[in-house]
């Protein structure tokens, strides 16, 4: 099965369906990514802050796949913002992943309390892009005001904005702004895991509307949600360490949701964010040292 690709605003191609490793323990990362690559995923999303880039790199090395067959995406953490610091952050990530070039490098969060450092970090990404160290650059969790400030000074429009999107939290205004600027919206927590991992009592996996659509297609609730994202033009990066789920999340290309089904899922929006509030991201609260090795 060949996954459809999204053409980024600089012409680079990115598989629309990727494999995420958020909160995957370092000692489980290699086997999970190996299984994902075996199933057919060719896009892996990690981050310096996940502390599992080395496991991703080891899995890629052991896969036997050529480097150009795998799209590797990682993120610079806020503690490494600033021009020189971000250039060094790239070196740390590339070393752990065991590669010379990254396919997509993004800033993990906006840092509203030190936005000048955020802008300097993005300037470093532009340098890495110009030098051929990365094939595309972007951001994550940037809200409309963050994007406006960035676009006012950036030479390169971000290719991707990775944001929380699932049926219960869709950020339509932000997605519209991304589209207007040719920025791909990449959904983290695409099946709404954030709504129940952190003590929430509402799971999109048990939503009657989604279960109804799933039953109509002989698919799972997770598969329906992933299909919904893909049909609306988003990139998705579901995560799992369970082989059966890894395979299930990949099996989403043999059915199509009707316009009415898509609209019904669109109608589940609650406006309730599951992840941290963007304005709450500060070095004091979220800063951490990203190790060299």
**Residues 276, 273: Cα–Cα separation, whole Å:** 8
Instruction: Cite the active site residues.
Output: 50
Q: For residue 199, what pLDDT is reported?
A: 59
Question: Is pTM, for the whole model, over 0.95?
Answer: yes
- For the chain, the average pLDDT equals 96
**What average pLDDT does the segment 140-148 reach?**
98
Q: Is the pLDDT of residue 201 over 80?
A: no
Label residue 288 by pLDDT band (50, 70, 90).
Answer: very high
Label residue 293 by pLDDT band (50, 70, 90).
Answer: confident
Q: Is the pLDDT of residue 69 over 90?
A: yes
Q: For residue 283, what pLDDT is reported?
A: 95
Label residue 143 by pLDDT band (50, 70, 90).
Answer: very high
Pairing of strands 5-7, 13-15: antiparallel
**What average pLDDT does the segment 142-149 reach?**
98
Label residue 198 by pLDDT band (50, 70, 90).
Answer: low
Which has the higher per-residue pLDDT, 131 or 200? 131
Three-state helix/strand/coil letters over the chain? CCCCEEECCCCCEEECECEECCCCCHHHHHHHHHHHHHHCCCEEECCHHHCCHHHHHHHHHHHCCCHHHCEEEEEECHHHCCHHHHHHHHHHHHHHHCCCCECEEEECCCCHHHHHHHHHHHHHHHHHHHCCCECCEEEECCCHHHHHHHHCCCCCCCCEEEEECECCECCHHHHHHHHHCCCEEEEECCCCCHHHHCCCCCCHHHCHHHHHHHHHHCCCHHHHHHHHHHHCCCEECCECCCHHHHHHHHCCCCCCCCHHHHHHHHCCCCCCCCCCCHHHCCHHHHCCCCCCC
**Residues 224, 209: Cα–Cα separation, whole Å:** 11
Label residue 197 by pLDDT band (50, 70, 90).
Answer: low
Residue 19: is it exposed, middle or buried by C-beta count within 10 angstroms (0-12/13-18/19+)?
buried
């Amino acid at each position: 099965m060949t996954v459809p690709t999204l053409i980024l605003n600089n012409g680079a191609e990115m598989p629309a369906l990727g494999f995420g490793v958020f909160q995957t323990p370092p000692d489980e990362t290699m086997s999970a990514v190996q299984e994902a690559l075996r199933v057919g995923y060719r896009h892996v999303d990690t981050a310096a802050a996940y502390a599992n880039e080395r496991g991703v790199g080891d899995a890629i090395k052991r896969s036997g796949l050529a480097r150009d067959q795998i799209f590797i995406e990682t993120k610079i953490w806020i503690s490494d913002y600033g021009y020189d610091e971000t250039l060094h952050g790239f070196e740390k990530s590339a070393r752990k992943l065991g590669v010379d070039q990254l396919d997509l490098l993004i800033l993990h969060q906006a840092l509203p309390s030190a936005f000048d450092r955020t802008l300097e970090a993005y300037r470093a990404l532009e340098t890495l892009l110009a030098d051929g160290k990365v094939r595309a650059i972007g951001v994550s969790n940037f809200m409309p005001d963050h994007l406006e400030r960035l676009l006012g000074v950036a030479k390169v429009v971000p290719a991707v904005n990775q944001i929380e999107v699932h049926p219960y939290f869709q950020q339509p205004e932000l997605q519209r702004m991304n589209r207007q600027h040719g920025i791909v919206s990449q959904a983290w927590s695409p099946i709404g895991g954030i709504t129940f991992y952190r003590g929430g009592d509402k799971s999109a996996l048990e939503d009657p509307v989604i279960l109804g659509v799933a039953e109509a297609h002989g698919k799972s609730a997770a598969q329906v949600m992933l299909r919904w994202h893909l049909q609306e033009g988003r990139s998705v990066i579901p995560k799992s360490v369970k082989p059966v789920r890894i395979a299930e999340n990949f099996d989403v290309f043999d059915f199509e949701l009707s316009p009415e089904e898509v609209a019904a899922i669109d109608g589940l929006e609650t406006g309730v964010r599951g992840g941290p509030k963007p304005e709450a991201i500060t070095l004091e609260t979220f800063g951490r040292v990203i190790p060299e090795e």
